[in-house]
Amino acid sequence: MIPDDQTLTEQGAPPTGSGRVLLLACGALAREVLAVKSQHGLGHMDLTCLPAILHNHPDRIPAAVETAVKEHRGNYSDIFVLYADCGTGGLLRATCDRLGVEMLDGPHCYSFFDGNVAFAARDEMAAFYLTDFLVRQFDTFVTKPLGLDRHPDLRDMYFGNYDRLIYLAQTDTPELQNTAKACADRLGLKYEYRFTGYGDLARALTSA
Amino acid sequence: MSDEEEDIILSELNDEELVQQMFDDLYDGLKEEIEEGVNILLERGWAPYRILTEALVGGMTIVGHDFRDGILFVPEVLLAANAMKGGMFILKPLLAETGAPRVGKMVIGTVKGDIHDIGKNLVSMMMEGAGFEVVDLGINNAVEAYLEALETEQPDILGMSALLTTTMPYMKVVIDTMVEKGIREDYTVLVGGAPLNEEFGKAIGADAYCRDAAVAVETAKDFMARKHNQLAAG
């Protein structure tokens, strides 16, 4: 069973203890990973998630991943870290190399959902991205930490250089599209919708 | 704001109390109160440079320390910066008129492919507050833009900023080009931005990585002092 979004944000999710390969993922990927597992019959893979709010504190990700790898590696034959660089400036890659575990390619989840090659080619410098999870958790990840609930006048200091919000959708969900559009309106950005599905995440899991 | 705070009349405070109150107002991001405080101190005959360093920079230093220590967060720092900007706007023309001391000159800009400028803007403002002349190139700067600014502005320091893992390697492009052109040693190169770290700064050949605006100011001052010492030693 998938914990609710708030739990995934603040606490993450523990492994179930089944399977010989552990997927150590960002909490923001829990639903997507389980969907890919289910679609492709990857029953040999177990999933544990770190708190998704680490997304807002990339400097804490390498240490959190290292702690989790050390905690769980005795129980699995292999661990696959389901993070991209995620703003760690290469430090997560260095940590994973040192620990001898694989991680996802690419700069962040926006890129691997879109497909790393396609994403790099788009060169969308002025785009602000949301995924399914971030649309659902927009206030927790954007509005409140940036203080926009208390100080809406700060909006243009944060977003003045962006020209659009692109919702990279993993699922075709009209309700999320409406919410994403409202998020774009709140940030004063043009709205764009792009269905990505699970992109390179699915490819990485099925070839692991 | 509490009733008690609303009752404070800035013009009735003595200088020491007023500066203390301006520290509090900066901390709370109260732009209008900071502007009022600056004007009162000017009316009392304070030199613009003294107001800048003692009231504004003094207050922002407290904000910077509390940000570093995890007591304040980005929104509060931005509000404080906005308040300081209000005070700086009044002081800037006066500083030029009154011949305030100039510590050094910096050209700063966010690198190509990157539109993020909050950190860079904070550094620019704090550097100005510390007596540096700052030429801000804005966002998305190609190597040519940096080189042209170095040529025309002849700064002591080049500052580069990036927020993305994908754009931070461009700093090395700029530094390598400076090396190729034989001008690297003519400037102190400081780099900063959320995904950067000390190791990266060293690896790309920067003089220093600065983790926040306060560190950038201190580092810049250190390098300027070294430069002066070297010149003095002849």
Tell me the shortest Cα–Cα distance from B193 to chain A, in angstroms. Answer: 10
CA distance A158 to A98: 36
B63 with B80: CB under 8 angstroms? yes
Q: Is B140 on the interface with A (CB under 8 A)?
A: yes
A76 with A102: CB under 8 angstroms? no
Report how far apart, in Å, the C-alpha atoms of B120 and of each of B5, B87, B161, B214, B233 are: 33, 19, 6, 12, 33
**CATH number, span B102-234:** 3.40.50.280
Nearest to A133 by CA among A50, A29, A7, A6: A29
Tell me the shortest Cα–Cα distance from A83 to chain B, in angstroms. Answer: 14
For chain A, positions 42-101, list CB contacts with chain B under 8 A.
58-59, 85, 87-91
**Of the partner residues A107, A147, A162, the one whose CB lies closest to the CB of residue B75:** A147
Mean pLDDT to the nearest integer, B53-76:
91
Tell me the shortest Cα–Cα distance from A87 to chain B, in angstroms. Answer: 5
pLDDT in tens, A13-25: 999 988 999 999 9
Instruction: Give the dihedral sign, CA A63/A57/B162/B137.
Output: negative
Q: Is A154 on the interface with B (CB under 8 A)?
A: yes
Tell the burial category of B212 from Cβ atoms under 10 Å away from its Cβ (0-12, 13-18, 19+). middle
CA distance A79 to A50: 14
CA distance A201 to A109: 9
- B140 pLDDT higher than 90: yes
Q: Which residues have C-beta within 8 Å of that of residue B115, sequence separation ≥ 6?
A: A125, A126, A161, A162, B139, B140
The long-range contacts involving B80-84, CB below 8 angstroms and separated by at least 24 positions, are B80/B26, B80/B27, B80/B28, B80/B29, B81/B121, B81/B122, B81/B125, B82/A157, B82/B29, B82/B31, B83/B25, B83/B26, B83/B29, B83/B30, B83/B31, B83/B33, B83/B34, B84/B26, B84/B34, B84/B56, B84/B59, B84/B60, B84/B125, B84/B129
pLDDT above 90 covers a percentage of chain B that reads 82
**Nearest-by-CA chain B residue for A122:** B113
**Of the partner residues A59, A120, A157, the one whose CB lies closest to the CB of residue B118:** A157
Output the six-digit token pair for B187: 């400037």
Chain B neighbors of A150, CB-CB under 8 A = 75
- Report the amino acid identity of residue A93: R
Q: Is B24 on the interface with A (CB under 8 A)?
A: no
Say yes or no for a CB contact (<8 Å) between B196 and A88. no
Which pLDDT band, with edges at 50, 70 and 90, does B6 fall under? low
- B129 pLDDT higher than 60: yes
Mean pLDDT to the nearest integer, A47-57:
97
Say yes or no for a CB contact (<8 Å) between A87 and B166. no
Interface with B, mutate which of A93, A109, A129, A161 (most B CBs under 10 A): A161
The torsion angle over the Cα atoms of residues A167, A169, A173 and A178, rounded to 10 degrees, is: 0
- B4 pLDDT higher than 60: no
Give the predicted TM-score (pTM) of the model. 0.91
Domain B1-101 matches domain B102-234 at the CATH topology level: no
Output the six-digit token pair for A97: 């190399």
Chain B neighbors of A120, CB-CB under 8 A = 166
CA distance A38 to A204: 15
CATH architecture of B1-101: Orthogonal Bundle (1.10)
Tell me the shortest Cα–Cα distance from B115 to chain A, in angstroms. Answer: 6
Give residue B96's pLDDT. 82
Say yes or no for a CB contact (<8 Å) between A87 and B195. yes
**Of the partner residues A59, A91, A162, the one whose CB lies closest to the CB of residue B115:** A162
**Of the partner residues A58, A89, A126, the one whose CB lies closest to the CB of residue B168:** A89
Give residue B56's pLDDT. 95
pLDDT above 90 covers a percentage of chain A that reads 97
Q: Is A158 on the interface with B (CB under 8 A)?
A: yes
Q: Where in chain A is the domain with CATH 3.40.50?
A: 5-106+200-207
CATH architecture of A5-106+200-207: 3-Layer(aba) Sandwich (3.40)
Give residue B1's pLDDT. 47
What is the longest distance spanned by two Cα atoms in chain B? Answer: 62
Q: How many CB pairs under 8 A join A and B?
A: 59
Q: Is A145 on the interface with B (CB under 8 A)?
A: yes
Give residue B234's pLDDT. 63
Mean pLDDT to the nearest integer, B201-213:
96
Main-chain phi, psi angles of B46, to 5 degrees = -65, 140
Q: Is B83 on the interface with A (CB under 8 A)?
A: no
Tokens 């544990």 correspond to A48
Strand order across the beta sheet in which A21-26 lies: A45-50, A21-26, A78-82, A102-103
CA distance B94 to B45: 13
For chain B, positions 30-49, list CB contacts with chain A under 8 A.
none
Chain A neighbors of B140, CB-CB under 8 A = 125
pLDDT in tens, A103-155: 999 999 999 999 999 999 998 999 999 999 999 999 999 999 999 999 999 99
Q: Is B73 on the interface with A (CB under 8 A)?
A: yes
**Nearest-by-CA chain A residue for B115:** A161
Task: Write down the domain spans for chain B.
Answer: 1-101, 102-234
Output the six-digit token pair for B60: 């922002």
B56 with B48: CB under 8 angstroms? no
| Helix, strand or coil, per DSSP, at residue A139 | helix
CA distance B17 to B11: 10
